Structure 1
Amino acid sequence: MQLALGLIETKGLVGAIEAADAMVKTANVRLVSKEKVTGGLMVVKVIGETAAVKASVDAGAAAAQRVGELVSAHVIPRPDDQIENLIFDSSLQIVKRGPTVIKTSKRKEDVTLFDEEEKIEKADYGELEIPSEEELEKLNVHELRRLARGYENFPIKGREISRANRQELLDHFNLIR
């Protein structure tokens, strides 16, 4: 690893957030993580070029000191590659998301309005399948809105989707089933 590692340890979340904010605003560094250690201690980690990390750690330490929560600050220039698994959390989980739709045209043509009683055929939705009723019930309103926007011929569009509550979105999904 040719980058430097900067560490700031604070007591409590407020000091950690204040330090992290000052660190990323001061220099061109990348915030790696914020971890709870024990007993209310938090560690904020940044990486970047050595001079930038030193400047950002100094600024972050000063910001945490103003809040009165600084425990320690340290910069490790060019840490060995073997400690990379200590720096980067290897327990990150990949979250599986719903279907993604890539729109190829910028204009929508032939926008059709549907009555609520009108049944919409499944063929209009191409290869995307509508999740089962149990799967839809597990989704919150934001996830339902995102899913609804993914369907080209969903009965409601744009701001109507944004304004629709969870039950209205579930009703529309049941209509197109």
Structure 2
Amino acid sequence: MTALGLIETKGLLAAVEGADAMLKAADVRLLERNMVGGGLVTITVAGEVSAVSASVEAAVAAIGRIDGAALVSGHVIARPDAEIATILALHPATDAAQAAVCCASAGPAVKASAQAAVPAADGVKVPETTAGKTAGKGDAATPARYEISQLKKMNVGRLRQVARSLKGVSLTADELTTAAKKDLIDAIINAYRQIEE
């Protein structure tokens, strides 16, 4: 990463329009979308300095064309310090590739388990904790496996439970108690990959 570009908007519509303009205007990578609260949404991109500058300018122009959209700020940081990596998700392409590999390798198995669960779920709502425990009771070597979309919907406490139940999780017990949601999901995906090998 040689430059970091950020836009902050009031409202999701302006943020989506800005992100679209940023990605279409230049060769930049979308790092993250962060909903701060109070309607503020921050979009972060990375790439070459000139590309990031052009993409931020394009986003500012695109958001300006939307009636009622509020651009709070747009900023480019050229050659940010390496410590910035601790507060940003700097490897989204790797995460997306991991997600694709995880879903592709588990595609048929996930579909089969989803089809098997459909008849049992007619009219009966089973909590996730019960489903995970019953899957674990049948075969201790194969813990319940969740899709990435399911992991993203879980709260942090549930993700910590899932991570603790898996063997080969890269986080220590102390790191598990303080890890962010994204870090927990990454650790769970990596543990699934190790189980497959």
TM-score normalized by the length of structure 2: 0.48
Structure 1 Cα separation of the partners of residues 43 and 14 of structure 2: 10
Aligned to 2:85: 84
Structure 1 residues 77 and 135: alpha-carbon distance in aligned structure 2, compared to 1, 3 A threshold: same
Match of 2:6 in 1: 7
- Identity between Structure 1 and Structure 2 (%): 44
CA distance in 1, matches of 2:58, 2:50: 12
- Find the aligned partners of 1:59 and 1:131 in 2 and give their Cα distance: 45
Q: CA deviation at 1:99?
A: 3.5
Task: Give the letter aligned to residue 75 of structure 1.
Answer: V
Counterparts of 1:135-150 in structure 2 under 5 Å? 136-137=116-117
Distance (whole Å) between structure 1 residues aligned to residue 43 and residue 63 of structure 2: 11
Q: Measure, in 2, the Cα distance between the counterparts of 1:138 and 1:4.
A: 48
Query: What residue is the counterpart of 1:48 in the other structure?
Result: 47
Structure showing the higher helix proportion among its residues? 2
Alignment length (residue pairs): 110
1:33 CA displacement? 1.2
Partner residue, 1:27:
26
- Where structure 2 has 5 or more consecutive residues not aligned to the other structure, the ranges are 122-197
TM-score (norm 1): 0.53
4+ long deviations beyond 3 Å: 94-101
Query: Higher relative contact order by CA 8 Å / sep ≥ 6: 1 or 2?
Result: 1
The structure having more radius of gyration, on CA atoms, is 1
Instruction: Report the alpha carbon displacement of residue 100 of structure 1 after superposing the two structures with TM.
Output: 5.4
Residue segments in structure 1 that go unaligned for 5+ positions in a row: 102-127, 141-177
SS of the equivalent of 1:56 reads helix
